[in-house]
Amino acid sequence: MFTPMALTVIVALFAAILISVTFIPAAIAMVTTGHINIHDGRLIRFLKRCYIPVFHWSMGHKKVVLLMATGLFAFSMLLSTRLGTEFIPALDEGDVALHALRISGTSLSQSVEMQYALENQIKKLPEVKTMFAKVGTAEIANDPMPPNVADNFVMLKPRAEWPDPSKSKAAVVADIEAAAGRVIGNNYEFTQPIQMRFNELISGVRSDVAVKVFGDDMEQLLATGNQIAAVLEKVSGSADVKVEQVTGQPMLTLALRRDTISNYGLSMLDVQNLIAGLVAGEKAGELFEGDRRFDIVVRLKDDVRQDIEALKKIPVPLPNNAGSTVLLGELVDFQMATSPAQISRENGKRRVVVTANVRGRDIGSYISAAQLQVNEQIKVPEGYWIGWGGTFEQLQSARDRLLIVVPVTLAVILMLLYAALGSLRNGLLVFTAVPLALTGGIVALALRGIPLSISAVVGFIALSGVAVLNGLVLISAIQQLRQQGVALDQAIYEGTVSRLRPVLITASVAALGFIPMAFNVGIGAEVQRPLATVVIGGVLSSTLLTLIVLPLLYYLLHRKPLEVKHP
pLDDT bucket at 1, cuts 50 / 70 / 90: very low
N-term to C-term CA, the chain: 55
pLDDT attached to residue 564: 40
β-pair partners for 208: none
Cβ atoms within 10 Å of 54's Cβ, excluding its own: 12
Asked if 488 and 482 touch (Cβ cutoff 8 Å), the reply is yes
pLDDT attached to residue 40: 65
Which of 380, 351, 370, 359 lies closest to 231, judged by CA?
A: 370
Q: Is pLDDT of 472 > 60? A: yes
pLDDT attached to residue 432: 81
β-pair partners for 355: 210, 242
Task: Write b or e for each residue in 262-287: b if 16 or more Cβ atoms lie within 10 A of its Cβ, otherwise e.
Answer: eebebeeeebeebbeebeeeeeeeee
Give the tens place of pLDDT for each residue, 46-57.
888 888 888 888
Which ranges of 103-153 does DSSP label H, i.e. alpha helix? 108-122
Give the tens place of pLDDT for each residue, 218-235.
888 888 888 998 999 888
Q: Is pLDDT of 203 > 70? A: no
Give the tens place of pLDDT for each residue, 387-444.
887 777 777 777 788 788 888 888 888 888 888 777 788 888 888 888 878 888 888 8
pLDDT bucket at 140, cuts 50 / 70 / 90: low
- Residue 550 has phi, psi (to 5 degrees) of -65, -45
Mean residue pLDDT of the chain comes to 82
Per-residue CA distances from 110 to 185, 346, 509 (Å): 11, 31, 62
Better-scored residue on pLDDT, 230 or 206: 230
pLDDT attached to residue 7: 74
Among 169-183, 354-368, 552-566, the range scoring the smallest mean pLDDT is 552-566
Q: Per-residue DSSP letters for 264-328?
A: TT--HHHHHHHHHHHHT-EEEEEEEETTEEEEEEE---HHHHT-HHHHHT-EEE-SSSTT-EEEH
Q: Is pLDDT of 2 > 60? A: no
Q: Is pLDDT of 468 > 70? A: yes
Q: Is pLDDT of 499 > 60? A: yes
- In three-state form (DSSP H/G/I as H, E/B as E, the rest C), the secondary structure along 441-457 is HHHHHHHHCCCECHHHH
Mean pLDDT of 89-97: 78
pLDDT attached to residue 143: 66
Let me know if 429 is exposed, middle or buried by CB neighbors in 10 A (0-12, 13-18, 19+).
buried
Q: Is pLDDT of 138 > 80? A: no
Mean pLDDT of 57-68: 87
Mean pLDDT of 491-519: 82
- Nearest-angstrom CA–CA distance, 3 and 10: 11
Cβ atoms within 10 Å of 167's Cβ, excluding its own: 14
- Radius of gyration for the alpha carbons in the chain, expressed in angstroms and rounded: 36
Q: Is pLDDT of 93 > 80? A: no
Per-residue CA distances from 519 to 361, 447, 448, 532 (Å): 21, 14, 11, 9
Domains of the chain plus CATH, in order, are 42-87+396-558 (1.20.1640.10), 93-206 (3.30.70.1430), 207-248+340-390 (3.30.70.1440), 251-338 (3.30.2090.10)
pLDDT bucket at 563, cuts 50 / 70 / 90: very low
pLDDT bucket at 141, cuts 50 / 70 / 90: low
pTM metric for this prediction: 0.69
Residue 145 DSSP code: -
pLDDT bucket at 238, cuts 50 / 70 / 90: confident
Among 26-30, 138-142, 265-269, 425-429, the range scoring the smallest mean pLDDT is 138-142
Q: What percent of the chain has pLDDT over 70?
A: 92
Mean pLDDT of 437-464: 84
- Nearest-angstrom CA–CA distance, 224 and 374: 11
